[in-house]
Structure 1
Amino acid sequence: MARPTPPGPRSATLAPAPARRRPARRHRAPAAAASPCHRYYLSLPGAGNRLGAGGGVVAGELAQAGHDVLVLEAGPYLHGRDFTQREVDMMGRLYDARGALSTRDGSVGILAGACLGGGTTVNWAGAFRTPDYVLAEWASQHDAPQFLSSDFQKSLDAVAAALSVNTDYPRHNGQNQALRDGSARLGQATRLIPRNEKGLMAVDQHFSALGYSTLGDAHGLKQGTLNTYLRTAADHGARLLPDTRVERVTIVAGRATGAEAVHTPPGGQPVHITVRAERVVVAGGAIQTPVLLLRSGLRHPHLGRHLHLHPTVAVAAHYPHPMHSWHGPSMSIVNDTFTRLGGTNFGVKLETPPTHPGLLAMVLPWRSGTQHRQLLQAADHLGSFIVLTRDRDGGRVQADRQGAPLIDYRLSAFDRKSMLTGVRAAAEIHVAAGAHTVYLPHGTLPTLHAEDGVLHNPELLASLARLPWRPNRFGLYSAHQMSTCRLGGQARTHPLRPDGETVEVRGLYVADGSAFPACSGANPMLTIMALAHYTAQGLKASRPA
């Protein structure tokens, strides 16, 4: 039993014991949180920081296979009625930097889950499979042939089944219907977006609730890792310790030996924790994972580089009829017409975002208080499409003197050209769907006017590229961060081996979007989870040397 030592933080040691399989337990919630005031005897395959899509899969897979697993989560543990689905409450509790994370120059707003379940707790429930051409690119350009293997496909199938991925939702909200109708009138194909929800009924309560699941799902419909893999982990004896920031991974003679962390209970005194582990799996996302590895002494020259963001802009439009876009699935229709522009693997997807007042106010261009108020007063008639760009050129994450992330990213000319192609396409679809006013995503608020599907000022679209698209002249956002610890077969340029282990430290693995060799080109949840599942199979089949 560790003794408190006032006035400083308390300490606790979590040490290994002989491995043993624990009987499964069933909980309504994933598990009761562990208490760091006691000594735990564990054989630790993994310690994760901000455990989301990838870390939850690894925890569930290893615990079910009989390993002793401890989950260290930097954020809070909420479930069920804890999710008030009020923006002012949930943005501050569920998102990194309370929803205010951005690049150093403030030009890109970054949304990243920072709670138990991570992105799977707050994402928009889109469950896209990795495009085949992206998998082929990763395999050939990054010497990672496993992406074309039947085993990786089995991992994709396994996580899709665990998440109950389906397209059986009953109807679309206003802006998704507009994306579908406008695209069809222009001869462009759309498709239903597979979503990870279960138990959905064709009733107004469920339909309305889907629009708020980005603020946590109070109804238990969304099958994120909280309701799937983390529940499996807890049922097989894994311990979950939320509100615990991993300060560094401990390393001895080139091998990971555990982690040092600080647990902060609500309103309580911080407790320093030392974990001794056979293997450590880091799953903090593409912003926090490289910073943790840097704090731990890793110095690979490509660590923190190649940051891809799926840079995104919103194109909003005013319709003559109510849209009520805050209800229903945030995203249920996608237009992939422009995903491979100019014969390349790079382009844009056209999707729809959640449109709660705070988020809407953040993305709509600002000219004056009066103008902005008028836009928001018409929010029930606004429909928005997003232009999600597969960025070829990346940014960088570094650690400051306090070990916090410093994020640098600037949209390249190549990626800006793709984005503007998408902006034009989104505007034309709005007009075809019946919008009479379209607001283009630039600080000067260029505005299109239309009537009966006919655009009155098409010259404005033709002049888009001549506007000053410098940082902070337009709103640019990211909900997907990737590739800062990329894996591949070339150790000189890839911080991770193909099996997810770091090239610098044995027994230290990464299982999140930072391991992607490059940008995924689609909402990345399913790909992150499949890669984590694939990594977990290797961990189960091997033992530390």
Structure 2
Amino acid sequence: MTFTDQHLAALRLISDTFAPGDGAVPPASKVGGPEFALELAGTNPRKSELQQLRLVLRLWDTRFLGLVLTGRPRKFSSLDQAGRERVLLSLSDSRVAAKRALFAALKGACLAPYYVTGGPVLWDSIGYAGPPGPLENAPDPALKPEGVTQDESIVCDVVVVGSGAGGGTAAGVLATAGLDVVVLEAGEYHDDRDFDGSERTGFSQLYAGSPGVTSEGQVQLVAGRGLGGGTVVNYTTSFPTPDHVRAEWAALGTPQFATSEYDDAMAAVNARLGVNKDHPGAGVRDRLLEKGAEKIGWSRGAMPRNVIGCDAGIECGRCGMGCRIGAKQSVTKTWLADAAEHGARIYTGARATKVTVENGRATGVAAVSADGHTLSVKARAVVVAAGAIQTPALLKRSGLTNPNIGKHLRLHPATALWGLMPELVNPWEGAMQARYVDEWTDLDGDGYGVLYETAPLTPAFGSGFVNWRGGAEHLRRMRELKNMLGVAIVVRDKGPGGTVKIGKDGEPIVSYTLSPGDTDLLMKGLEGAARIAEAAGATQIYTTHHRTMGYAPGRKGNLESFVKAIRAEGAAPARLTLAALHIMGSARMGGSPQMSAVNPDGETWDVKDLVVADASCFPTASGVNPMISIESIAYMNATRLAARLTR
């Protein structure tokens, strides 16, 4: 679905209101930001969402929409910069959630592309050196996946849908066991020589663009795309599944989580990924996190990471756009390499549309390429590991009716607290995540709370967490980014959780709103982050609320007034920036079909020989970055399946 000159003109007008420049740096329309935004939007497979965007842009500069949005029949283009900013702020501050969600969507669509395309003049003004570019001596890609270039039918023992932490691990285990394995990946293969450290590459190639936000507009959804999935872009954080979480999962009908079987699975995963703590170098932001926690006497630790030869510096800080030096032990470097070595066939650009079922058993998968070629895979068993959004969508498209498919979604809703530091931080440098603070991971004695980390924030990624109260003010705040400590707050959500449904087009629709209890955890998390930042020496503290919420320690306001203000502002949809990088639980494992979607083997209750092996299996939220838990479940489920198929 194409965009017209009218659509582009409207987006240029909106973008230049969000990012007008200041004379020294150009506005968004002069650096190609709106064009890149529409390029990204065009990749959305949901035609209904594209139609909505086209409608908003077509009507944007009309008196009619001015009347609807502001109560005044004035064209947006007839207003000066201050007037246009007032229109946008009226959306941001509206009591109507849909208007706030529209503001948040426009902000993301305008500001992130601006900082992607801004170029050296803009980047220099905020102290960012820009992307390093590809390495000239990068090795050739190790894997050689096939494409779907014609209609084709193939046969194998097991077909694995998805190639991320779950699918990649399952493929490696199954192929090593001597089974004939086919892997289907909807995205493409990108490796060391493709990674240039740029956000443009990351946004356009390595991240899933849809669905980009929950239907209520409350939580942004961040997931990897392409061969290796999220393991190619994640932060290398390699926490084991906590013991109290394992006990909770075992009590829900999956007893193996409390046994040596799961111990062995985690040990195998840690060994294959080379998980270690042999990286003492921590960037400034991690040292500040550690300093603040130490000063207030809070529990903290060094991060286990799946890296070999990581520089823990500039290279690592760009690793969210792929690791140029091959230090990150993603599944493309490990489990998928094992699978390929043992004869697995890997297809990229192959989107699974349906699991085929005969007489109550899975018999294969139907897939399609972007240009319409079909691939039919006949198999003895099917492993679905497309992620906790796409897995339940595929199961639903395939006719499965268990009511737990798509329910119990957990997101680890996360936000950041900013602390303006007197020293240079350069948050886009240093190890991805080298330290953590776990003092408040069990706030009420039930194993639920908040985990504190840092994150490498390049300008476009960081811009989404900096609130906007006007173009000049936002640019000023972005120029402070080099001195900002961002304390990431990760909530272990208790529920009742969200849902994944499918629309008429078969695409997933994600619904999720924070419960009162989880909102309370989030507010408590912001309070704790402020304590850490203040102890680390922050001179100014901000949240990601759309209205400015913060205080200046020792000068204006204090922690008590801050806590009171943020609780009054709340966390209703589009009141503050929330993101989910850990998406879990939408086809959870359990002991009965009344409370779970799959049995303790990972096999669906509805269909035999159909096994789920990704984060959607989680019975509840893991409470920590989930990569090791995902791979351990995939290892365990695939090992059980391999034993059955090779008897």
Mapped to 2, the partners of 1:455 and 1:338 lie a distance apart of 24
TM-score normalised to the size of structure 1?
0.90
Q: Matches of residues 416-495 of structure 1 in structure 2 within 5 Å?
A: 416-451=519-554, 456=558, 458-495=560-597
Measured on the aligned residues, the alpha-carbon RMSD in Å equals 1.8
User: 1:133 aligns to what?
Assistant: 244
Q: Indicate whether 1:144 and 2:254 are aligned.
A: yes
Q: Deviations over 1:451-479 (max 9, x none)?
A: 59x97564222443222421111111100
Shift of 1:28: 5.8
Q: Which has the higher contact order (CA 8 A, sep 6+)?
A: 1
Is residue 147–residue 350 contact of structure 2 (8 Å, CA) maintained in 1?
Answer: no
Equivalent of 1:176, from 262, 270, 286?
A: 286
Structure 1: 5+ residue stretches without partners: 1-26
Q: Deviations over 1:236-295 (max 9, x none)?
A: 11111111100111111111111111123xxxx431111111100010110000001101
Mapped to 2, the partners of 1:105 and 1:419 lie a distance apart of 18
Mapped to 1, the partners of 2:195 and 2:352 lie a distance apart of 25
Mapped to 2, the partners of 1:147 and 1:28 lie a distance apart of 39
Q: Deviations over 1:332-381 (max 9, x none)?
A: 11111111112221100011122111111011222222221111011111
User: 2:620 aligns to what?
Assistant: 518
Is residue 54–residue 511 contact of structure 1 (8 Å, CA) maintained in 2?
Answer: yes
Structure 2: 5+ residue stretches without partners: 1-138
Q: Deviations over 1:283-315 (max 9, x none)?
A: 011000000110111111111011100001110
User: 1:230 aligns to what?
Assistant: 336
Q: Secondary structure of 2:500's partner?
A: strand
Q: Indicate whether 1:46 and 2:149 are aligned.
A: no
User: 1:195 aligns to what?
Assistant: 305
Is residue 164–residue 230 contact of structure 2 (8 Å, CA) maintained in 1?
Answer: yes
Mapped to 1, the partners of 2:321 and 2:149 lie a distance apart of 31
Equivalent of 1:404, from 507, 525, 535?
A: 507
User: 1:212 aligns to what?
Assistant: 318
Is residue 322–residue 381 contact of structure 1 (8 Å, CA) maintained in 2?
Answer: yes
User: 1:23 aligns to what?
Assistant: none
Q: Indicate whether 1:115 and 2:226 are aligned.
A: yes
User: 2:171 aligns to what?
Assistant: 59
Q: Secondary structure of 1:71's partner?
A: strand
Mapped to 2, the partners of 1:33 and 1:544 lie a distance apart of 26
Shift of 1:219: 0.8
Mapped to 2, the partners of 1:464 and 1:326 lie a distance apart of 27
TM-score normalised to the size of structure 2?
0.76
User: 1:11 aligns to what?
Assistant: none
Q: Deviations over 1:57-102 (max 9, x none)?
A: 111111111111111001111101112221022112111117x711
Q: Deviations over 1:426-456 (max 9, x none)?
A: 011111101100112322111210259x975
Q: Deviations over 1:366-411 (max 9, x none)?
A: 2222221111011111110111000001011100000111010000
Q: Indicate whether 1:356 and 2:466 are aligned.
A: no
Is residue 396–residue 484 contact of structure 1 (8 Å, CA) maintained in 2?
Answer: yes
How many residues end up aligned between the 2 structures? 507
Mapped to 2, the partners of 1:246 and 1:41 lie a distance apart of 14
User: 1:104 aligns to what?
Assistant: 215
Q: Matches of residues 203-282 of structure 1 in structure 2 within 5 Å?
A: 207-264=313-370, 269-282=371-384
Q: Deviations over 1:478-532 (max 9, x none)?
A: 0000000001111222110100000000111110000011111110000000000
Q: Matches of residues 156-167 of structure 1 in structure 2 within 5 Å?
A: 156-167=266-277
Q: Secondary structure of 2:209's partner?
A: helix
Mapped to 2, the partners of 1:37 and 1:313 lie a distance apart of 42
Moved over 6 A (4+): none
Equivalent of 2:397, from 291, 295, 313?
A: 295
User: 2:181 aligns to what?
Assistant: 69
User: 1:503 aligns to what?
Assistant: 605
Is residue 47–residue 259 contact of structure 1 (8 Å, CA) maintained in 2?
Answer: no
- For 2:278, give the aligned amino acid: D
User: 1:326 aligns to what?
Assistant: 428
Shift of 1:230: 0.5
Shift of 1:331: 1.1
User: 1:19 aligns to what?
Assistant: none
Q: Secondary structure of 2:408's partner?
A: strand
- For 2:296, give the aligned amino acid: L
- For 1:361, give the aligned amino acid: S
